[in-house]
Structure 1
Amino acid sequence: MSTPFSLLLPVYRGDRADYLVRAFQSTVNEQVLRPSEVLVVQDGQIGPELASALERAESSSPVPVRRLQLKHNVGLAQALQCGLSACSHEVVARMDADDISLPHRFAVQLPMIEAGADLVGAGMREFGEATPTDGLLRIPPTDPAQIAAEARLRSPFNHPTVVYRRSAVLQAGGYRELPLLEDYWLFTRMIEAGAVVANVADPLVLYRVDAGSYQRRGGARLLRSELGLQRRLHREGFTTSTQMVRNVVVRGGYRVIPVRLRTALYRNRFTQPTGTVGDTVDREVLGGTVPPARHLRRERRDV
C-alpha cells in the first residue's frame, strides 16, 4: 500500500470551467497512483458555469472529494494555507485548476517522498494556443546542492508540480502573503530549515500558458513583491548582501523590461526545447529507479 496523500486544488472565480474539468480528470481519474482524497479550496464566490463544472468533477471522482468554501477571495497564499490545515493526510500534492498532470506523475513522486524527501518537484512542459514558448520544457535542478544554490537566484521548483510533507511546510512557516511569489519564499524557508528536497527532471505536468502569461510576469505590482522578497531573503540570512544586490538588478530588471524582451530572455534562460530531456519517466516507474532513502538522507547533510 502506498502512503495516503491529499490533492490540494485551489479554485477561484477567474478559472475556466473546461480547464478545471481537464485538470481534475488528469490528476485524479487518469492517475496510475491516485490521491486518497481531493481537497478543493473554493476561494470566494464562483460563477454558475465553474460551480457546475466543479460539481461534475466531484460526482465523477473515483476518490473522496471535500470542498473548503471560503466566504471571500483571500488570494492564493491564504487559500493554500487554509487548505493545508484541512487536508486529512501528512503528504500533500499541489495542482492548479488549469494544468494537466501526466498519468504517471504520482507513481514517480510518491516513492521519493516515501524514501525520505520532504519536497519533490518535477519538470513541466508548456502548452497553449499560439504562444511563443509553447512546447518548451522547464527543467528544474535535481541535485540537492544545486537546488539550494539555485534558490539564491530563482525558485528551484515548479510550484504546480510539487508534492510535500505538510509538517515540513508548516515547520518553515507555511504560505505567507507575498503576491505571485509566495511559493518561492516558502521553498527558500524549507531549504533553510533543513527539508530534504528533490526534483524529477522529466516533465510530469503540462503547464498552460497564453499570450498574456509573460506580460503578467512584469509590472509595478510584481516589482514591489520582488523587492519585498529580496529584502526578506536577505534579512532571513538566506542570501548575502552581494546576492541581494544581484537579484534586485537581475530579477527586478526582468520585471520592468518590455514584454517581448522578457519573453525572449525567459525562453533562452529558463527553458529547453522539447526533446532535450530523455523520456526516462516511464523507465523509472517500471524499473523503480527512484533514489533510495539512504541517498536522500545523505543529500540533506550536503545541503
Structure 2
Amino acid sequence: MKISVIMGIYNCEKTLKESIDSLLNQSYKSFEIILCDDGSKDTTLQIAKDYVKKYPQKIRLIQNETNNGLAYSLNRCIDISKGEYIARMDADDVSYKNRLEKQISYLESHPECALVGSQVFLFNDNGIWGVRKAKSDPLKKDFLFGSQFVHPTIIIKKTILNQIGNYTVSKATLRAEDYDLFMRVYAAGFRGHNLQDVLLNYREDNATFKRRAYNYRLDEAKVRYNGFKKMKLMPLGLLYVLKPLIVGLIPQAVLTLLRHQGLEKNSVDKKTHPTI
C-alpha cells in the first residue's frame, strides 16, 4: 500500500458521496481510504458504512464517540494507516482523476521534498467560480503571509508526519491545524512543493464573507507566534502575528468589499470551465 487517504467526516451527507467517488475514480490505484466520523448527527455515518460494505478492501471507517475536531480525527486515521504516504481529502471537495498519480510521481522523483500540494478551483453548488493559486516552492518567510498549502490537496511522507508529532490537537489550532502543521514541517528542516496543475475542486462560497469570531483570531495569532518562533522568523514575525487581530477589527462591509475584489481578480472563464 503506497498511499493512505485520510478524511475527517462530520455532518456532510450532501457532499460525501461525490468526494469519495472522486477518490475511487483515481487513475492511481495503490491507496486506501480511511474515514473518521466525528460524531455526525445526520446520515453521514450510514453513507460511510455503505461505502465500506461495498468496498471493504479499499475503505476503512472509524468513529469518535464525541465530536473532537478535525486534527484529532486525522491523527486517529494516521495511527492506523498502512501507506508510506498520507494524502488529505475533505468530505466536500472533489479530486481530479489524475491527482494522486501526479503527486506521487513528483514525490518519488524528488526525494528531497516532504510534501506536495496543488492549485485548486473554487466551486459551490453553481459550479466553478474562481481559482486559488499557491506558490510552487514556498520558503519559510512566505508563511508570514499565511498557510502556503491548500490542506486537502497535500500528500506528505508518513515518516515526517510521525517525526513532528502528527497534527497538534489544541484549542488554538482548532481552525488552523494545517497552518500549524506546515510550519512545523518547515521548522524541522523539510520543504514542500505545489504542483502548478489544478488537481482539486475546493468548495467555498463566493456570495458572502463569513466573519470569524474574535476568539478564533486570537487562536490564530497564537499559532502564528509559535510557528514563527520555531522557524526563527522573529522579531519580524511579531508584525504578522498581529494580522488576524487587526483584520478582526475591520468593519464587515469593508471585509466583504475586499473579498469581492479578490474574487473578481481570481475569477474563472465559465466558457472554459462551465461545470466541475
Q: For this structure pair, what is the TM-score category when the shorter chain's length is used for normalisation?
A: 0.7 to 0.9
Correspondence 1:214-253 to 2 at 5 A: 214-216=209-211, 218-248=212-242, 250-253=243-246
Match of 2:6 in 1: 8
Match of 1:82 in 2: 76
Q: Choose which of 119, 123, 132 in structure 2 pairs with 1:123.
A: 119
Q: CA deviation at 1:80?
A: 1.1
Contact 1:188 1:238 in 2 (8 A): no
Q: Choose which of 52, 55, 68 in structure 1 pairs with 2:49.
A: 55
Give the secondary structure class of the aligned counterpart of 2:66: coil
Correspondence 1:18-57 to 2 at 5 A: 18-27=14-23, 29-44=24-39, 46-47=40-41, 49-57=43-51
Match of 2:160 in 1: 168
* Percentage of pairs with the same residue: 23
Contact 2:86 2:155 in 1 (8 A): yes
Q: Choose which of 102, 105, 113 in structure 2 pairs with 1:111.
A: 105
Give per-residue Cα distances to partners, 1:226-272, cap 9 Å, x unaligned. 22113212442442222222341x33222343444334434555972
Q: Distance in 1 between matches of 2:107 and 2:197?
A: 17
Amino acid at match of 2:116: V
Q: Distance in 1 between matches of 2:261 and 2:77?
A: 36
Give the secondary structure class of the aligned counterpart of 2:104: helix
Give per-residue Cα distances to partners, 1:160-193, cap 9 Å, x unaligned. 1111111112222321121211110110110111
Contact 1:226 1:251 in 2 (8 A): yes
Amino acid at match of 1:222: Y
Contact 2:124 2:203 in 1 (8 A): yes
Give per-residue Cα distances to partners, 1:202-222, cap 9 Å, x unaligned. 221111123687315x22132
Paired residue total: 265
Q: Is structure 2 residue 199 aligned with structure 1 residue 204?
A: yes
Contact 2:9 2:44 in 1 (8 A): no
Match of 2:135 in 1: 141
Contact 1:124 1:204 in 2 (8 A): yes
Match of 2:250 in 1: 257
Give the secondary structure class of the aligned counterpart of 1:184: helix
1:261–1:107 CA distance, 2 compared to 1 (3 A): farther
Contact 1:139 1:203 in 2 (8 A): no
1:162–1:259 CA distance, 2 compared to 1 (3 A): farther
Q: Distance in 2 between matches of 1:23 and 1:10?
A: 12
Contact 1:139 1:202 in 2 (8 A): no
Q: Choose which of 87, 97, 100 in structure 2 pairs with 1:93.
A: 87
Contact 1:4 1:91 in 2 (8 A): yes
Give the secondary structure class of the aligned counterpart of 1:135: strand
1:232–1:256 CA distance, 2 compared to 1 (3 A): same
Give the secondary structure class of the aligned counterpart of 1:152: helix
Amino acid at match of 2:140: A
Q: CA deviation at 1:57?
A: 2.5
1:40–1:152 CA distance, 2 compared to 1 (3 A): same
Please, what TM-score do these two structures have when normalized by structure 2?
A: 0.86
Please, what TM-score do these two structures have when normalized by structure 1?
A: 0.78
Q: CA deviation at 1:7?
A: 0.8
Contact 1:141 1:199 in 2 (8 A): yes
Structure 2 gaps, min length 5: none
Q: CA deviation at 1:136?
A: 1.1
Structure 1 gaps, min length 5: 280-303
Amino acid at match of 2:184: R
Amino acid at match of 2:226: R
Amino acid at match of 1:203: V
Amino acid at match of 1:149: K
Give the secondary structure class of the aligned counterpart of 2:141: helix
Q: CA deviation at 1:62?
A: 8.1
